[in-house]
Amino acid sequence: MKKIHNVLTGILGVVLSIVMSGCSIQDGSSVYMNYGTGLGDDMQYNNELYGLNCSNDIEGADPGCFYVSEEEDEKYGGYYYMYKSGSTSDEGVSLVGDFYEENEILHIAYRCYRSKDLYSWELAGAMEDGYSLVVDKQDWCRTCFWAPEVIRNEADGKYYMYFSASADQNWGVSEMSSSNNQFDRLYLGVAVSDTPTGPFDILYDTDPATDKRIPTINFMTGCGTEYNWAAIDVSPFFDDDGELYLYFNKHTDDHYDAMMGVWGMKMKSMTEPDYATVSYLAAPGKVTASNTPGNIEETSSEGEYFDSSESQINEAPFMFKHKDKYYLTYASNGYGQVGYSVHQAVSDEPLSGFKKLSMEQGNPVLNGSLHGYMNGTAHHALVRNGDDLWIVYHRHNSTTAFELGWDRSICADRVNFVTNSDGLDVLTANGPSMALQWLPERVSGYQNLAKTAKISVSNGEGVEYLTDEVLPFYTVTQDRVMSTEKNDVTITLTWDEPVSVSSVMVYDAYDVYKAFSKVAKLEFKLAEKPDWAKQEYDYAVIEDIQLPDRYWDADTEKYIQCSPAVAEFDPIKITELKITINEEDRLIMEDKLGEKVTALNLSEIVVLGGAD
């Protein structure tokens, strides 16, 4: 697969600033290893170990993403598939050629990408330019091809795409809007394919009066409204019992703006809604929302929800289930706002009782504007692969509020469940990150061996948080750090049996006033002689592991929170690792900040190894 990022091949590369050769400096019973810092000045990195949200390579918005395993699909499995908004119609492109004419194809929509690691993507859609959806001349949809999501139906092995689009103003069907406002003509659509790459064919009903194709989902007819009830951002969810639900956003239109927010309904089949279950789940600025199921013109909401990023919009829902709880994640604020962010509401039921969490209890899940270096981090999908859960989302290419707009790019970060002070498990993201992150184990083949080690510290508290894989970006996680106010600190990891190690990542503090400038020493207790060593040694040592310069901006004096000092090297087998950070290396931060640094916080330690 073509790597979109500029990367190295293998563990050791040819770029000296990233990874040095396997030579060593001998010193009695210890051997001083050369190493790489993981990230070069030219943004090169080893994408067999790490991922990095660093560029605008995949531009686009509203990513729908899911993982297909090889067990599910022998031919197409082993990849993440991602789809983004847009069509040849929206881009003003006319399809020309015999193929399109002979097959009466009017438009193609939704570019499809695939990836092994969520960072290096390649076009995979079956149609020209990677598009995946075919729009025939007889189909009802014409513009506003937004926010596709795809799900695999285990029962028939087919892939179903759910999307929103606007119908032609002059479609001429009595139960479809003919308003000159294209938002009044927004509908939800369904398409099907035998493969995740398409081409997806739009499924439709037929209007008996005109014999024209009409959407399979129409709230005007299904719920008996006088006008069309515009909806977008549809997201499918299979519950544990196999029941299918759809979640969507009520879009602005000329008649029903008071009902804007997140809604859901149960499906009778992959294409047929149970309109009697249509339910109001999240209202902008309110803690809870409800209605009589099936009645979409009378709603209620309670409790003022105070959050600077809530605004007047709740959209882009995604449902996730964990320990019998339903987690409704949604985009808060508008897509063009700096504070466009991901929030969560939790319930015991899939279609009622959702309550938004406070900042102390778990919101936001993801918000770049809180951290100052990334904006508009929202419309998203949660993707599980093995034990790893990730959030795929878009961000604005610009960090300047006055330049925000359509130009957006795709990012990904790890997501964890943590227990809040109420005893509830809640979602929280390790980001948005702009520093190296370790890849999912099922992607890289490298295990985070820190989780299997016995760990202790020479002084300080919170040692248990050093290996929980949680980076403390938010209020609910801010105390999940190892902290010490004393001088030098040494963290010791030990294993009962030898482990093969290739990289160590020591994640700095979220709070710049509690950060280190470098790691003074890594000391490995060797279990056997490395292949490159000329003799037996007891220990291998690496010294002065610097943070890459790009993690500190001297002009703006902004710091990329929770960034790692990284050492990457040829595999060695060890039984113990000691990590030392000296007080003098912490105090270097005082010169940069001009203020006293009184404590040290460490966010996480990752030790990658185990692969051949």
> 577: domain CATH number?
2.60.120.260
DSSP single-letter state for residue 222: H
- Is residue 8 a part of any domain in this protein? no
- Is residue 566 a part of any domain in this protein? yes
Task: Compute the half-sphere exposure of residue 150: CA atoms within 13 Å on the CB side of its CA.
Answer: 35
Q: Please report, as a single letter, which amino acid is at residue 407.
A: D
User: What pLDDT, on a 0 to 100 scale, did the predictor assign at position 334?
Assistant: 86
Q: Quick check: pTM over 0.85? A: yes
- Residues 317, 457, single domain; the answer is no
- Is residue 16 a part of any domain in this protein? no
- Is residue 2 a part of any domain in this protein? no
- Residues 354, 271, single domain; the answer is yes
- Residues 182, 43, single domain; the answer is no
Residues 6+ apart with CB under 8 A from 363: 307, 343, 344, 356, 357
- Residues 213, 322, single domain; the answer is yes
Q: Decide: 341 and 333 in contact? Cβ < 8 Å.
A: yes
Helix (H) / strand (E) element for 146: namely strand 141-153
DSSP single-letter state for residue 207: -
- Residues 453, 407, single domain; the answer is no
CA distances to 4, 314, 393 from 60, in Å: 15, 20, 10
Final residue before a domain boundary, out of 386, 407, 434: 434
d(CA 556, CA 558): 5
Strands (E), 508-599: 518-526, 539-546, 552-553, 558-559, 564-581
- Residues 517, 584, single domain; the answer is yes
Range of the domain at 95: 53-434
Final residue before a domain boundary, out of 416, 434, 452: 434
Quick one: which of 281, 270, 265, 278 has its CA closest to 329? 281
**In Å, how far from its chain's centre is CA 74?**
25
Final residue before a domain boundary, out of 404, 434, 464: 434
Task: Compute the half-sphere exposure of residue 481: CA atoms within 13 Å on the CB side of its CA.
Answer: 26
User: What pLDDT, on a 0 to 100 scale, did the predictor assign at position 338?
Assistant: 84
- Residues 211, 339, single domain; the answer is yes
Quick one: which of 95, 96, 105, 113 has its CA closest to 141? 105
User: What pLDDT, on a 0 to 100 scale, did the predictor assign at position 3?
Assistant: 33
Helix (H) / strand (E) element for 317: namely strand 314-322
- Residues 34, 72, single domain; the answer is no
Q: Which residue(s) pair with 343 in the sheet? A: 330
- Is residue 9 a part of any domain in this protein? no
- Residues 495, 399, single domain; the answer is no
Residues 6+ apart with CB under 8 A from 6: 42, 43, 44
User: What pLDDT, on a 0 to 100 scale, did the predictor assign at position 203?
Assistant: 98
Max CA-CA distance within the chain?
91
- What values do phi and psi take at 345, rounded to 5? -130, 145
Q: Decide: 80 and 124 in contact? Cβ < 8 Å.
A: no
Helix (H) / strand (E) element for 583: namely helix 583-593
DSSP string, 367-381: -GGGTTS-----SEE
Q: Decide: 474 and 364 in contact? Cβ < 8 Å.
A: yes
CB neighbourhood size of 555 (10 A): 5
The number of helices, as runs of H, and strands, as runs of E, in the chain is 4, 40
DSSP single-letter state for residue 275: G
pLDDT along the chain (612 residues), means of 10: 31 36 59 89 85 81 96 96 96 92 96 95 97 97 97 97 96 95 97 98 97 97 94 98 97 92 98 98 96 93 80 93 97 88 97 96 92 88 93 86 70 97 97 94 93 96 97 96 89 97 96 87 96 91 89 68 94 97 72 72 95 53
Q: Decide: 540 and 530 in contact? Cβ < 8 Å.
A: yes
d(CA 407, CA 397): 6
Q: The tokens of 72 are what?
A: 């599910």
The rounded radius of gyration (Å) of the Cα atoms in the chain is: 26
DSSP string, 45-96: B-TTTEE-----SSB-SS-EEEEE-TTT-TTT-SEEEEE-S-BTTTTTPPP-
Question: Where do we find the tokens 């999501």?
Answer: 149
Name the domain count of the chain.
Answer: 2
- Is residue 17 a part of any domain in this protein? no
Q: What is the DSSP pairing of strand 121-123 with strand 105-115?
A: antiparallel
Residues 6+ apart with CB under 8 A from 434: 52, 53, 54, 373, 374, 560, 563
DSSP SS3 for 286 = strand
- Residues 66, 213, single domain; the answer is yes
d(CA 541, CA 562): 24
User: What pLDDT, on a 0 to 100 scale, did the predictor assign at position 509?
Assistant: 92
Which CATH number is 64's domain given? Answer: 2.115.10.20
Strands (E), 478-538: 482-484, 489-507, 518-526
- Is residue 96 a part of any domain in this protein? yes
- Residues 425, 496, single domain; the answer is no
Q: Decide: 60 and 22 in contact? Cβ < 8 Å.
A: no
User: What pLDDT, on a 0 to 100 scale, did the predictor assign at position 588?
Assistant: 60
User: What pLDDT, on a 0 to 100 scale, did the predictor assign at position 28?
Assistant: 65
CB neighbourhood size of 612 (10 A): 5
Q: Decide: 546 and 497 in contact? Cβ < 8 Å.
A: no
User: What pLDDT, on a 0 to 100 scale, did the predictor assign at position 4?
Assistant: 31
d(CA 481, CA 471): 8
Q: The tokens of 315 are what?
A: 């959209």
- Residues 106, 135, single domain; the answer is yes
- Is residue 587 a part of any domain in this protein? yes
d(CA 68, CA 153): 11
